[in-house]
Chains A and B, each alone.
Chain A
């Protein structure tokens, strides 16, 4: 009886992914304790976030695929309405950016929802027109992507905007967008870079400039990058040891529970720790690729591919910005940085991946 319940409970969970994700979340809890200087409250907070995320993951994993197809359009529409709502007086401005929406009972960030909604909508759209794909369909899909991205960049939120653009692009790419168009777009993008530069906000330009030479403004805009690099570099091969990072524990490292948590890890566990962490992320990504390759429908292939590649993008951008090869764009380290929204969004994605994998099996058997 208990065994049957147990089997029923784990039926739609992918063991490889579950172990890898569990390892990442374990690392997250361990780091939270160190980054908060030995306080349990952040550890419990993150544990709660993980529980909520896991619940969402379990529910989505147990959802049949046609459910996902069915909710794609409503979620996208709701997301768009809320994104537009941010621009009304209901929007909340903080630190010069209007990203939040007051819905009476709570404050939410609609761009987070769009991380799931945009690729879902695009994959749904391609599935609908699978039989008769023409250039026009790619154009429509691109517009479905461009409008929310533009709205998010306008908030301004460069990090989220670029990540959603990336996840949408992965859908277009996997859906078979012709190479000629992609190369043409790349050339056009390069040509329009100067204009884009003008369109950026001052603080965004600063961040890019600081990446090129962070020492120019070591105490101002370049401070994050420099302190992050110092933390990573001074960690050396084996690290300074758990709870012994001086950059972390003497407050030199900013944002050390969120965007810069990788610097905490790197300082305390060194290059060897980084190799282990990269391996865990590698396992997650590799498993994502396997699931994608074996997905049964056009929709699920696109969806699984986009989820996997987006997850990788998060990882790469975060580690890249902490180690000073990318500008500081405010992207958390997936599943490790503190934050309920980010964990929830990612869990939804992994729930879908598992659903895609396990429901296909059930259909086959």
Chain B
């Protein structure tokens, strides 16, 4: 009996066991189905997504930076080039204690406090997790010393890089500008222009001058290399690449030797000179003195050098040719005379009597020459630079007639030269005064104010660039070309050259006989007039006009150069073109605090014209130094 019960229990037990086993089987099947649906989800539905992630893991795109285009003068002399050199660079993210690391590096490589300061400045401006240079242009010895100790410095490496170099340094600084490291502002601008991807891997960008205005052409196209990398970031193989396209080379209209001659002619004086080919607007020389060393800016200028440049009384950072606005002084007179002829306010032979002053209302305007020039016609008024003639003429013409005539020569307007940051200057008129001032009593134009406008003083203020453009236009009989510094672009790989066509701005409606009157008078200036001394014995016929711009008004006292402090002396000006009958060159010179135009500005013009027309060099030109060595600093 007992045995029977046990047996029955056994059957029941097996039944329940198998039931539970069946349940387990169901559990297993459900879980296997879950796994299977997970596989379908990952491998079918989301396959594209994970494929992309896998590719992102393994494919790394490395930019190949293009070589920046060279800049040459019109004769092929190189003004900006690249050279490869070694830099010591630190990846701040990989270095625990930056100061200690730099201290240790100082024992191997010469690192000055200014290098440190510059590095810290870069560090604060750094926009990516890149490496930053602490020292550039390492000597071979320094490279070797560091290489031997390299294991001690994780996160520090030596890189071979292309550097920008300006062989003429300060001589071309104001027109070439410089390249500098790309900062956050540049980055934002590149993103706005939608070209940020073309700057991957690029450290430098043109900041001012031609380097800036032709940035797009000079930079070129960045190449890319698709590399398969492993988890450690090591490249396994190259998948595809696109070669970089070097930037285009620029050939300037500038004559580098002429530029040097002009620069040297200034001697210790500050000032500006712009020389152009009046026939097409090509800028032959573009001097703003003093210049500065552009290489200081390439890797970020250190505070000390920056302060030195900014606090210097010579203001080397100011581009005087483009941004300095000066009264034109008597160089304004030829245009006044031409205006009078064109508007019929004077005839060339018409004479006035100059007693040495001109009275308007109860104010007396004095002529430079005590006792006056006597009987003066137009020719004499220019040759002897008679003020009274132009006081009267200005009064007869009226301010708005003067303004509208002068505007045609580009006075008070940007010339449109191909570098940025040009100033407008001031061409005074009733309308200008209304805009310039806020109070109604200041906004009114007083007829007395017109008088000194006639001799290029008063509100008149023009850039040397504008003065050069005006005299070039006059030389070219009123046919005005836009000034430009770049003559052609050439593609390095294809050798294809793109010429920049001269751009005709306007042809001023003038009578040739009127122009000839003025030109004759300007030739007279250099032959028998105010600049006769400076141009004595020149082997060509040059037309010119001297000018003196007041810096400081000495009330009631007569101006005696020797007694006035140098920085209060008048600015000297000179405009010229030559040869007078077939002008090949036109120029404007401004010498800050140079005193009379005839004594300082005209001789500079003479040297420039002598070199350009006759090939005469005043003295052997200084050899251009190449690759400035760090050790020389």
Does chain A bind chain B?
A: yes
Which residues of A does B touch, CB under 8 Å?
131, 170, 173-174, 176, 227, 229-237, 246-247, 250-252, 266, 270-271, 274-275, 278, 282, 285, 289, 292-293, 298, 301, 305, 309, 312, 316, 319-320, 323-325
Q: List 27 A–B pairs whose Cβ atoms lie within 8 Å, in order of A's numbering.
A: A174-B24, A176-B16, A229-B50, A232-B39, A232-B50, A233-B42, A233-B43, A233-B51, A234-B51, A234-B54, A250-B230, A251-B232, A252-B231, A266-B39, A271-B39, A271-B43, A271-B44, A274-B36, A274-B39, A274-B43, A289-B21, A298-B13, A301-B17, A305-B24, A319-B35, A323-B35, A325-B34
Give the CA-CA distance A266 to B394 in the complex, in Å: 94
Give the CA-CA distance A266 to B36 in the complex, in Å: 12
Q: Which among B25-33, B422-430, B619-627 touches the partner chain?
A: B25-33
Give the CA-CA distance A213 to B205 in the complex, in Å: 43
Is B28 a contact partner of A312 (Cβ separation < 8 A)?
A: yes
Is B16 a contact partner of A234 (Cβ separation < 8 A)?
A: no
Which residues of B, 40-79, contact A by the 8 Å Cβ criterion? 40, 42-44, 46-47, 49-51, 53-55, 57-58
Instruction: Choose one: A230, A233, A235, A237; the contact of B57 (CB below 8 Å).
Output: A230
The 10 closest A-B pairs by CB, nearest first: A233-B50, A234-B54, A251-B231, A233-B42, A250-B230, A234-B50, A271-B43, A236-B47, A234-B51, A252-B231
Instruction: Choose one: A236, A285, A293, A316; the contact of B43 (CB below 8 Å).
Output: A236
- Name the residue of chain A whose CB is nearest to the CB of B52: A234
Give the CA-CA distance A233 to B45 in the complex, in Å: 9
Given contacts A230-B54, A323-B35, 18 further A-B contacts (CB under 8 A): A176-B13, A176-B16, A176-B17, A227-B57, A230-B57, A233-B50, A246-B58, A250-B231, A250-B236, A251-B230, A252-B58, A271-B43, A282-B32, A285-B28, A309-B28, A316-B32, A323-B39, A325-B35
Is B49 a contact partner of A233 (Cβ separation < 8 A)?
A: yes
- Name the residue of chain B whose CB is nearest to the CB of A271: B43
- Name the residue of chain B whose CB is nearest to the CB of A286: B25
Smallest CB–CB gap between A56 and chain B, Å?
Answer: 26
Q: Is residue B145 contacting chain A, with contact meaning CB distance below 8 A?
A: no
Is A309 a contact partner of B24 (Cβ separation < 8 A)?
A: yes
Most buried by A among B35, B40, B49: B35
Q: Is residue B20 contacting chain A, with contact meaning CB distance below 8 A?
A: yes
Known contacts being A246-B54, A319-B35, A323-B38, is A270 close to B43, with CB within 8 Å? yes
Give the CA-CA distance A309 to B31 in the complex, in Å: 12
Q: Is residue B18 contacting chain A, with contact meaning CB distance below 8 A?
A: yes
Which residues of B, 543-594, contact A by the 8 Å Cβ criterion? none
Instruction: Choose one: A174, A230, A266, A312; the contact of B53 (CB below 8 Å).
Output: A230
Is A247 a contact partner of B20 (Cβ separation < 8 A)?
A: no
Is A320 a contact partner of B232 (Cβ separation < 8 A)?
A: no
Contacts of A278 in B (CB 8 A): 32, 35-36
Give the CA-CA distance A282 to B16 in the complex, in Å: 24
Give the CA-CA distance A234 to B52 in the complex, in Å: 8
- Name the residue of chain A whose CB is nearest to the CB of B47: A236
Is A236 a contact partner of B44 (Cβ separation < 8 A)?
A: yes
Is A174 a contact partner of B17 (Cβ separation < 8 A)?
A: yes
Give the CA-CA distance A227 to B46 in the complex, in Å: 14
- Name the residue of chain A whose CB is nearest to the CB of B28: A312
Is B39 a contact partner of A250 (Cβ separation < 8 A)?
A: no
Give the CA-CA distance A176 to B18 in the complex, in Å: 11
Is B18 a contact partner of A293 (Cβ separation < 8 A)?
A: yes
Give the CA-CA distance A154 to B228 in the complex, in Å: 44
Q: A interface, by DSSP: helix, strand, loop or mixed?
A: helix
Interface string of B115-143 (1 = CB under 8 A from A): 00000000000000000000000000000
Is B40 a contact partner of A271 (Cβ separation < 8 A)?
A: yes
Give the CA-CA distance A237 to B28 in the complex, in Å: 24
- Name the residue of chain B whose CB is nearest to the CB of A254: B231
Interface string of B1-27 (1 = CB under 8 A from A): 000001000000100111011001100
Give the CA-CA distance A252 to B232 in the complex, in Å: 9
Most buried by A among B34, B54, B228, B230: B54
Contacts of A324 in B (CB 8 A): 38, 42
Smallest CB–CB gap between B97 and chain A, Å?
Answer: 24
Is B231 a contact partner of A234 (Cβ separation < 8 A)?
A: no
Smallest CB–CB gap between A168 and chain B, Å?
Answer: 15
Contacts of B40 in A (CB 8 A): 271
Which residues of B, 224-266, contact A by the 8 Å Cβ criterion? 228-232, 236
Contacts of A319 in B (CB 8 A): 35
Give the CA-CA distance A131 to B13 in the complex, in Å: 11
Give the CA-CA distance A173 to B57 in the complex, in Å: 46
Give the CA-CA distance A239 to B267 in the complex, in Å: 79
Is A246 a contact partner of B28 (Cβ separation < 8 A)?
A: no
Which residues of B, 610-631, contact A by the 8 Å Cβ criterion? none
Is B47 a contact partner of A233 (Cβ separation < 8 A)?
A: yes
Contacts of A289 in B (CB 8 A): 21, 24-25
Is A293 a contact partner of B36 (Cβ separation < 8 A)?
A: no
Contacts of A251 in B (CB 8 A): 230-232
Give the CA-CA distance A184 to B218 in the complex, in Å: 79
Contacts of B25 in A (CB 8 A): 289
Is B35 a contact partner of A320 (Cβ separation < 8 A)?
A: yes
Give the CA-CA distance A234 to B75 in the complex, in Å: 60
Contacts of A173 in B (CB 8 A): 20, 24
Smallest CB–CB gap between A267 and chain B, Å?
Answer: 8
Is B20 a contact partner of A174 (Cβ separation < 8 A)?
A: yes
Contacts of A275 in B (CB 8 A): 36
Smallest CB–CB gap between A75 and chain B, Å?
Answer: 25
Instruction: Choose one: B16, B21, B57; the contact of A247 (CB below 8 Å).
Output: B57
Which residues of B, 463-520, contact A by the 8 Å Cβ criterion? none
Contacts of B231 in A (CB 8 A): 250-252
Give the CA-CA distance A203 to B263 in the complex, in Å: 73
Contacts of A235 in B (CB 8 A): 43, 47
- Name the residue of chain A whose CB is nearest to the CB of B59: A246
Contacts of B16 in A (CB 8 A): 176
Give the CA-CA distance A78 to B53 in the complex, in Å: 49
Give the CA-CA distance A357 to B133 in the complex, in Å: 75
Is B43 a contact partner of A237 (Cβ separation < 8 A)?
A: yes
Give the CA-CA distance A292 to B25 in the complex, in Å: 11
Instruction: Choose one: B21, B42, B58, B236; the contact of A293 (CB below 8 Å).
Output: B21
Known contacts being A250-B57, A293-B18, A320-B35, is A232 close to B24, with CB within 8 Å? no
Smallest CB–CB gap between B365 and chain A, Å?
Answer: 81
Interface string of B408-444 (1 = CB under 8 A from A): 0000000000000000000000000000000000000
Smallest CB–CB gap between B114 and chain A, Å?
Answer: 38
Most buried by A among B21, B40, B49, B55: B21
Known contacts being A230-B53, A250-B231, is A323 close to B42, with CB within 8 Å? yes
Is A247 a contact partner of B38 (Cβ separation < 8 A)?
A: no
Known contacts being A250-B231, A301-B17, is A325 close to B38, with CB within 8 Å? yes
Give the CA-CA distance A232 to B31 in the complex, in Å: 18
Most buried by B among A233, A252, A285, A325: A233
Contacts of B46 in A (CB 8 A): 233
Is A246 a contact partner of B17 (Cβ separation < 8 A)?
A: no
Most buried by A among B42, B53, B58, B230: B42
- Name the residue of chain A whose CB is nearest to the CB of B49: A233
Contacts of B230 in A (CB 8 A): 250-252
Give the CA-CA distance A103 to B228 in the complex, in Å: 47
Give the CA-CA distance A320 to B38 in the complex, in Å: 9
Is B236 a contact partner of A234 (Cβ separation < 8 A)?
A: no
Contacts of B43 in A (CB 8 A): 232-233, 235-237, 266, 270-271, 274
- Name the residue of chain A whose CB is nearest to the CB of B228: A250
Give the CA-CA distance A231 to B18 in the complex, in Å: 40
Contacts of A292 in B (CB 8 A): 21
Give the CA-CA distance A335 to B229 in the complex, in Å: 32
Give the CA-CA distance A121 to B236 in the complex, in Å: 54
Contacts of B50 in A (CB 8 A): 229-230, 232-234
Contacts of B21 in A (CB 8 A): 174, 289, 292-293, 305
Contacts of A250 in B (CB 8 A): 57-58, 228-231, 236
Contacts of B39 in A (CB 8 A): 232, 266, 271, 274, 323
Give the CA-CA distance A227 to B54 in the complex, in Å: 8
- Name the residue of chain B whose CB is nearest to the CB of A177: B20
